[in-house]
């Protein structure tokens, strides 16, 4: 799977602001696209099928595992998430650079792939601020927030495996830091 496009893998604990940062960066680069992942979790807020995620059933996801459909996949917070091989291959072959917004399990799979992605970890300014962000979102139960925070500790321990780490303390500064990485890597 080699083409002219460059693959970027961005990971962060839930609530670190990764989605907001990715949206801001996408608006600045014409040759950069977002890889829409598949998930078995329910949509949150105004999320739309095909735009934010492809929402599918656990049975359909497992069927696609058996069919070797996924470039990477993981089960996170009791839900499956995965990236379509075909989608990524088509984008890169067309010269389109691509952002994969994936968890650390999926990122590990990508790091050892022949695609040689540029890897970026988004870090919250502190664990306390991360906790506040998750609570302020108002989209998850206390039990789900507790599970996400427990997972966040383990995910943040993996940050040194990434080529770049960006702290999302100030949204504008973090956006600029990310844009510098993309400019450097895309040439």
Going by pLDDT thresholds of 50, 70 and 90, the confidence category of residue 3 is low
Q: State the average pLDDT over residues 8-27.
A: 92
Q: Is residue 1 part of a domain?
A: no
Domain hosting 61: range is 7-186
Structure tokens at 91: 């984008």
Task: Identify whether 2 is part of a domain.
Answer: no
What's the confidence (pLDDT) of residue 141? 84
For residue 163, is it within any domain?
Answer: yes
Mean pLDDT of 53-67: 96
The residue-averaged pLDDT of 32-42 equals: 93
Asked whether residue 141 is assigned to any structural domain, the reply reads yes
* Domain assignment of residue 135, yes or no: yes
Q: Which residues contact 144 (CB under 8 A, 6 or more apart)?
A: 77
Residue 173 lies in a domain: yes
Sequence-distant (6+) residues with CB within 8 A of 88 are: 1, 7, 35, 71, 98, 100, 115
Domain count, the chain: 1
Of all residues in the chain, the percent with pLDDT exceeding 70 is: 98
Give percent of the chain with pLDDT exceeding 90: 60
CATH for 64 = 3.40.50.300
Alpha-carbon separation of residue 111 from 1, 120, 135, 161, 171 (angstroms):
14, 11, 32, 9, 27
The yes-or-no verdict on residue 1 having pLDDT over 50 is no
Mean pLDDT across 86-111: 90
């Amino acid at each position: 799977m080699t083409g002219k496009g460059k693959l970027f893998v961005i990971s962060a604990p839930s609530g670190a602001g990764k989605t907001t940062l990715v949206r801001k960066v996408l608006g600045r680069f014409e040759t950069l696209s977002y890889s829409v992942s598949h998930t078995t979790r329910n949509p949150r807020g105004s999320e739309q099928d095909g735009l934010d995620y492809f929402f599918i059933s656990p049975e359909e996801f497992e069927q696609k595992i058996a069919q070797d459909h996924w470039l990477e996949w993981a089960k996170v917070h009791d839900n499956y998430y995965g990236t379509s091989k075909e989608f990524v291959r088509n984008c890169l072959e067309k010269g389109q650079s691509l952002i994969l917004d994936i968890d650390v399990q999926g990122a590990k799979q990508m790091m050892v792939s022949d695609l040689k992605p540029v890897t970026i970890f988004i870090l919250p300014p502190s664990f306390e601020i991360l906790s506040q962000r998750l609570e302020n979102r108002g989209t998850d139960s206390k039990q789900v927030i507790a599970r996400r925070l427990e997972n966040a500790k383990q995910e943040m321990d993996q940050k040194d495996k990434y080529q770049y780490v960006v702290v999302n303390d100030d949204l504008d500064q973090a956006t600029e830091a990310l844009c510098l990485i993309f400019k450097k890597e895309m040439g």
